[in-house]
Amino acid sequence: MSSLNIPLFPLYTVLFPGGLLPLKIFEPRYLSMVSDCMKKDKGFGVCLIKEGKEAGEAAVPYPVGTIAKIVDWDKNEADQLTLVVEGVQRFRIDRSAVRNDQLLIGDVTLIENEKFHDLPNSYAHMAEALEEILTQLGRPFSTMNMKLGDAAWVSARLVELLPIPLLEKHSLLESSDPISRLEFLSARTDLGMLE
């Protein structure tokens, strides 16, 4: 297991490896972070907020997050930056510290990415539903390289996109078992649209 020192971006969202996340960046600490990441071609950590808010003082994150790399960006006249980031690899936060500008920096241990796992036929309807969801969402989601035969990819995208409580999404991010994620999603009565 290798470790890294990376900037952390606590948000009210959960990102898995392979997922896309559009972001609007306007706070000086994050504009500076993005600029540094782009210059050095490195990523930053996206983590779910445990305590605090997205803006203002540094929030306290849950311990597992995902390294995100910037894959597209645009700047408008108001100096607002719009990014699309892609999840690369999960990590666990070992230690974190808050800089004077309220940017959170973490020492993290990387978690091995999940291997390809054949999607069982019993969950084929979920892959079909996911393809439809991604197409309806438009860019950047509709242009993803869809891996609809991979249980890990399908389950991760569904967890990211479906209306599941954030704590449950985080718990599923901590798991490395795509079939148990599909079972969880299948058992949820409020996700009946996938039947």
- Tell me if 87 sits within 8 A of 46, measured CB to CB: yes
C-beta contacts of 135-143 below 8 A and 24+ residues apart: 137/161, 140/20, 140/22, 140/71, 140/72, 140/84, 141/20
pLDDT above 80 (res 193): no
Closest CA to 119 of 155, 144, 145: 155
pLDDT above 70 (res 192): no
Give the model's pLDDT for residue 131.
95
Q: Determine whether 194 is exposed, middle or buried from the number of CB atoms within 10 Å of its CB (0-12, 13-18, 19+).
A: middle
Give the model's pLDDT for residue 190.
57
pLDDT above 80 (res 124): yes
* pLDDT band with cut points at 50, 70 and 90 for residue 24: very high
Q: Indicate the SS3 state at residue 50.
A: strand
**pLDDT tens-digit profile of 138-150?**
999 999 999 999 9
For β-strands 3-11 and 44-51, DSSP reports them as parallel
* pLDDT band with cut points at 50, 70 and 90 for residue 1: low
Predicted TM-score of the model (pTM): 0.92
For β-strands 81-98 and 104-110, DSSP reports them as antiparallel
pLDDT above 90 (res 168): yes
Q: Indicate the SS3 state at residue 123.
A: helix
- Tell me if 65 sits within 8 A of 90, measured CB to CB: yes
Closest CA to 73 of 60, 86, 61, 57: 86
